[in-house]
Structures are given as C-alpha cells and as structure tokens.
Amino acid sequence: MFFSNFDTIERTIIIGLCAYVSLVILLRISGKRTLSKLNAFDFVITIAMGSTLSSILINKKVTLAQGTTAFIMLIGLQYVIAKLAVNVSFINKLIKSEPKILYLDGEYQSQAMKKERVLKKEIFQAARSQGISSMDEIDAVVLESDGSISIIKKSEQQSRETLNDVQGFER
C-alpha cells in the first residue's frame, strides 16, 4: 500500500522527466497563444494536458509515446481551433466570451454586473490596482474575455475606439 518496489519509483522518475521535457518542448513550439491568459477554451486544454501528464506518470499501461501523442493532439487541436477563431467569427464567438462594459460614464451597469457576477468591490479593487482613488477618474470599466478587469481612464480625447467591440457600448 505505501511502497511496492523501487521499479515503480524509478519508472515514475524517468517517465516524469521525459514527459515533462516533451511537454515543455511542445508548448514552446506551439507558441505564445498556448500559454496566454486563459479563456474557457484554453482552460479546458490546460486541464486535459495536466490529466494526460498525470496518466503518463501514474498509469503503467500508458506509455511515454502514447502520452506524447496525446500532448501533440491536444496542442494541435488548440492550435487549429485558435487559428480558426482568428479567421471565422462564428468559431471565435463559440470559444470566447465577449468583453462587457461594467461601468460607463459614471454609471454602474448593474445588469451586466449581475449577469457576470461582478461586485462593485471587485471594480474598486481593479481601480486601486491602477492607482485610481476615485471613480470620477474613470471613463469605463470592462470585463475582458479572459476574466480580467480593464480600467479606461478619462482623457482629453474621447474617441473610445478601444470600446468598439465591447458588449454594452454604443457609440
């Protein structure tokens, strides 16, 4: 129960090192997109890769070649879907949520905040982290597709072009 033999430990160390190295190499080859801030799609791929690594390490029936093939398949699928998302808007909308306005022109967008489960204190925290002491200094607050909160400070220029693709913003 606590220890069967040294062969099991030796296998875990050797396979673990090899699987880790192959995963790092594949992630480096696949590019920055694979390691970017996580949206729901990226999160699922990350969990699947962790599960695959776990299976390679623990399950003697899963060979290093099978595990590496699974890594290649998962990263390949992530690459193909990400490429499609760039070129096909339907795929992009399917795998990524749209950014949403949470605060605009001095008004909290309570419906959007409720739907996205964001509290005022979370908006305050994001403002403080940007060195903002008053909401009067803020033009807009956006919940980004990766779950982060962006703060747009008031400025002399009011073109607001960065808000054009944000749900809840009308020109």
Q: Report the CATH number at residue 117.
A: 3.30.240.20
Looking at the structure of the chain, the number of domains it has is 2
Based on the domain organization, do 42 and 71 belong to the same domain? yes
pLDDT in tens, 67-107: 999 999 998 888 888 889 889 988 888 877 889 999 999 99
Based on the domain organization, do 127 and 148 belong to the same domain? yes
**Encoded tokens for 62:** 């899963």
Q: List helix spans (H) across the chain.
A: 6-30, 40-58, 64-87, 89-95, 110-116, 120-129
Based on the domain organization, do 33 and 112 belong to the same domain? no
Position 170 in a domain: no
Give the domain extent around 121: 98-163
Q: Are 139 and 160 in contact (CB under 8 A)?
A: yes
Position 169 in a domain: no
In order along its 171 residues, the chain shows pLDDT tens digits of 677 778 878 888 999 899 889 888 887 777 665 555 667 777 788 889 899 999 998 898 999 999 999 999 998 888 888 889 889 988 888 877 889 999 999 999 999 999 999 999 999 999 999 999 999 999 999 998 878 899 999 887 677 888 877 888 776
φ/ψ bin of 124: left (φ > 0), alpha (ψ from -120 to 50), beta (otherwise): alpha
Domain stops at, among 34, 61, 94:
94
Domain stops at, among 94, 125, 151:
94
Q: Are 101 and 141 in contact (CB under 8 A)?
A: yes
Position 1 in a domain: no
